[in-house]
Amino acid sequence: MNDVVFPAPKQVLKGFLIIAALLVSSIMAAQVPVEMSKQKIVVAGKIFYMHTVQKGQTLYSISKAYNVKVDDITHENVIPENGIKEGQMLKIPASSTPPAADQKASVTKGEVPIPQTNVQTPPKTTPPVTTGAGAATATTASTSASASIPTSTSKSPATQDPRFIYHRVLKGETLSSVSREYGISVRELKKANQGLLFPREGDYLMIPRDKVSVGKAEKQQPQVTEQVIISGTESDTIAVSDTLKAFTVPSDKTVITELRGSVKVAVLLPFFINENSVRSYIDSTKKDSKGKKIYKEVVMPGEWIYEGSIPFIEVYEGILIAVDSLRTLGLTVELDVYDTGGGTDQISNLISSGQLIDVDLIIGPVYSNNLSLLSSWATGHSIPVVSPVPLRDQNILSNRPTLFRVHPSLSVAQDISVAELRSHRGSNIVFLYSDTLMSDPLTSEYWNRISLAMQPAGPDDSTIVTPQYFTGMIPRNDTYRGVSTFEGLLKPDRENIIILATTETPKVSSAFSTLHTLSRKYSVKVMGYPEIRSLETIDLKYYYDLELFIPTESFIDFNSSAASSFIKSFRKNFGTEPMAESFAWRGFDIAFYFIGGIASHGSAFLSDPGIFNPALLCLEPDFRRNSRNDGYENKGMFIMHYRKDMTIEVIKPAHPGY
């Protein structure tokens, strides 16, 4: 029998007092009046009140004041575990059934709200709005959820906030374009319309009258009121459809001379601040004369940086220079930076805290599990998330329409290589794979693409395509046997192109070594995956002698004025120069491209990134997606061709399907 320990009388009393105090505080909170806000916004065709929580108010009292369920409020807002706080802004769905008092509603001691059913209220006007389309007819609307648009030129001050002009968003309008129309900043516009990041056609924006520039107010169009249907349960997410829209193909470079407005950016990278704070360690690698370990404290030098932090510090350095460049163009950039570490706790805490709810762009995180968690949340809030590094999860874009993958997958690299192969008709193409029976889907898909693309184009097409299983193993002291195996695959009368469908170092190294020997007798060229560039065990001379073709998503022209300017800024800010392989180049391009695109085109850029094509340092972004429900993948890649004269030719191919 298990022992049962009963609490002492004092413990019982203490617990009772705590519970009693909680009950009293709940009762007192219910007595705090809740006044309905006059500030409204429309998101995705749905009207919301913007309510600022006052001291003592609860979700229950607020829900009763607005005649909605508590669940309706929690569904639309990020509620901390310890409840709402004074000063917190809540987005309250406008109920289709009006509360007993239209403009003011409260829960006070002794009052219990009585549910109203089928209550008819006198017709009243909705807030007047302006549109960018010009003159329109003022109308009056009933409070019925399905009422049609009446026709009256009157307006009722009791149904609008006189401090604001109500602007109805037209197709193609953005926060930037509307702010310019009224001569206010994007920051001021966002402040007046909290919760609305990217307005859609039909949404209403509240324009603060006291912020409108002199002369702009005089040019305002005649005000018009319009009924907005409040029925349905549409959530604040990106609308998707089954039909995939046509994307703009990046062509001429976008020239930027000026940017206005404000963009708020959150940078989520694993800087590993805790690891960098450790400045010493115990070295036990040495032993004394008796064989005992010597424990010696080693202090890190002042310039020491934790190795795992370096690439992400470099990305951040590039972001800082990009932000500085954008600010010189007139754009206000608010940058919030977070150390995410290696786990998911920091991401979960950021999401639950609500700190990311009002950002326009998130750069990072970098690990697939963190990115998966954050991008799923961001989809529900229409916030774009940019992944700046290679990812292991090949399917991470699925059902995440606001996720942007900068580093292309191997599937895109295959498409680029196949496109290059088409210009080598008449060649002998040998497809080397190292997984038995092509069990890896990436390998089998690659082979299928090549065999389909290189089918004979006509009776005179002599192209040969052959698959060959290759283990990379050559019997010890029998190099000739390995060479003879390869030689049987080559043709002396034509160009031989070897496709390396593997990134495993021993196999790639073995193939290069053997093919280099045969290149003295045969015309041999090699195509490989992007990862081959980073394999340190391969003699660089092999790349040139075998005329390696390799797809890559980045290339830096160090002779360009842009690269020189970046190096100069980097040296000025950080006292050193960026290495060719530094992630700082990529950090600059990502920040400049996405922040500049949002500032220039708003939501239009996020749905069709090809409309913004600035000159960058190392990237040529070309974002596309396979369906409206999926995220965007960068398909802009180069082909690097190592030539026998020890030069590199950079080819910018058109992506297949354009």
Q: Is the pLDDT of residue 526 over 70?
A: yes
Average the pLDDT over 636-649 and give the result.
93
Asked, for residue 329, whether it belongs to a domain, the answer is yes
Tokens found for residue 233 = 């349960």
Report helix, strand or coil for 308: helix
pLDDT for 654: 65
pLDDT for 8: 39
Average the pLDDT over 480-496 and give the result.
80
Q: Using 50, 70 and 90 to split pLDDT, how confident is the model at 494? A: very high
Express each pLDDT in 126-141 by its tens digit: 334 444 433 332 332 2
For 247-352, strand residue ranges (E) read 262-269, 280-287, 293-299, 332-339
Asked, for residue 625, whether it belongs to a domain, the answer is no
Average the pLDDT over 404-422 and give the result.
92
Q: Is the pLDDT of residue 328 over 60?
A: yes
pLDDT for 43: 60
Residue 515 has φ and ψ, to the nearest 5°, of -65, -35
Pair (84, 205) in one structural domain: yes
Express each pLDDT in 87-128 by its tens digit: 787 888 886 455 544 433 333 333 333 233 233 333 333 334
Q: Are strands 332-339 and 549-552 parallel, antiparallel or unpaired?
A: unpaired
Pick from 56-60, 586-590, 644-648, 651-655: least confident: 651-655
Q: What is the DSSP letter of 576?
A: S
Pick from 10-14, 181-185, 313-317, 454-458: least confident: 10-14
Q: Say how many domains are in the chain.
A: 3
The pTM score is 0.63
Of the residues 593, 609, 643, the one at which a domain ends: 593
Residue 105 CA to residue 67 CA, distance in Å, equals 9
What CATH number is attached to the domain comprising 299? 3.40.50.2300
Q: Is the pLDDT of residue 603 over 60?
A: yes
- CA count, 13 A, side-chain hemisphere, 421: 31
Asked, for residue 63, whether it belongs to a domain, the answer is yes
Mean pLDDT estimate for the chain: 77
Q: Is the pLDDT of residue 62 over 60?
A: yes
According to DSSP, the residues that pair with 634 across neighbouring strands are 623
Q: Which tops the pLDDT comparison, 386 or 39?
A: 386
Q: Which tops the pLDDT comparison, 435 or 564?
A: 564
DSSP state string for 590-641: HHHHHHHHHHHHTHHHHH-GGG-----SSB---EE-SSTTS-EEE---EEEE
What percentage of the chain reaches a pLDDT higher than 70?
A: 75
> Please, are residues 300 and 280 in contact by the beta-carbon 8 Å criterion?
yes
Tokens found for residue 32 = 């705090």
Q: Using 50, 70 and 90 to split pLDDT, how confident is the model at 233? A: very low
Of the residues 186, 219, 252, the one at which a domain ends: 219
Residue at 39: amino acid letter: Q
Pair (506, 567) in one structural domain: no
Asked, for residue 168, whether it belongs to a domain, the answer is yes
Pair (520, 416) in one structural domain: yes
Express each pLDDT in 26-40 by its tens digit: 334 444 678 888 776
> Please, are residues 92 and 67 in contact by the beta-carbon 8 Å criterion?
no
pLDDT for 287: 86
Pair (387, 271) in one structural domain: yes
Average the pLDDT over 424-452 and give the result.
89
**CA angle in degrees (0–180, nearest 5) for 32-33-35:** 145
Phi-psi region of 558 (alpha: psi -120 to 50; beta: other; left: phi over 0): alpha
- Residue 565: its H or E element: helix 561-574
Report helix, strand or coil for 248: coil
Pick from 43-57, 408-422, 602-616: least confident: 43-57
Pair (70, 195) in one structural domain: yes
Asked, for residue 604, whether it belongs to a domain, the answer is no
pLDDT for 207: 86
pLDDT for 209: 84
Q: For tokens 């038995």, what's the residue?
A: 436
pLDDT for 360: 93
**CA angle in degrees (0–180, nearest 5) for 240-623-174:** 60
Pair (442, 548) in one structural domain: yes
Express each pLDDT in 296-319 by its tens digit: 888 888 778 888 899 999 999 999
Express each pLDDT in 498-522 by its tens digit: 999 988 888 898 899 889 999 999 9
pLDDT for 401: 92
Of the residues 497, 525, 552, the one at which a domain ends: 552
Q: Which tops the pLDDT comparison, 635 or 56?
A: 635
pLDDT for 230: 29
Report helix, strand or coil for 29: helix
Pair (189, 315) in one structural domain: no
Pair (346, 481) in one structural domain: no
Pair (385, 443) in one structural domain: no
Pick from 270-279, 377-386, 588-597: least confident: 270-279
Pair (396, 415) in one structural domain: no
Tokens found for residue 615 = 């000159």
Average the pLDDT over 235-263 and give the result.
68
pLDDT for 614: 93
Pair (211, 271) in one structural domain: no
Across 2-11, 209-218, 224-233, 497-506, the highest mean pLDDT is recorded for 497-506
Closest by CA to 449, choosing from 490, 499, 486, 495, is 499
Report helix, strand or coil for 363: strand
Closest by CA to 91, choosing from 357, 353, 379, 374, is 357
Residue 204 CA to residue 39 CA, distance in Å, equals 11
Across 49-53, 172-176, 482-486, the highest mean pLDDT is recorded for 49-53
Question: Exposed (0-12), middle (13-18) or buried (19+): which is 298, by Cβ within 10 Å?
Answer: exposed
Q: Is the pLDDT of residue 540 over 70?
A: yes
Domain that holds residue 289: 262-405+559-593
Question: Exposed (0-12), middle (13-18) or buried (19+): which is 160, by Cβ within 10 Å?
Answer: buried
Other beta carbons within 10 Å of 658? 10
Asked, for residue 615, whether it belongs to a domain, the answer is no
Phi-psi region of 649 (alpha: psi -120 to 50; beta: other; left: phi over 0): beta
101 vs 31, 36, 74, CA distance in Å? 17, 9, 23
Express each pLDDT in 611-633 by its tens digit: 999 999 999 999 998 888 899 99
- Residue 22: its H or E element: helix 9-30
Asked, for residue 578, whether it belongs to a domain, the answer is yes
First to last CA, the chain: 76
Asked, for residue 257, whether it belongs to a domain, the answer is no
Q: Which tops the pLDDT comparison, 159 or 606?
A: 606
Pair (279, 354) in one structural domain: yes
Residue 405 has φ and ψ, to the nearest 5°, of -100, 110
Residue at 637: amino acid letter: M
Residue 232 CA to residue 46 CA, distance in Å, equals 9
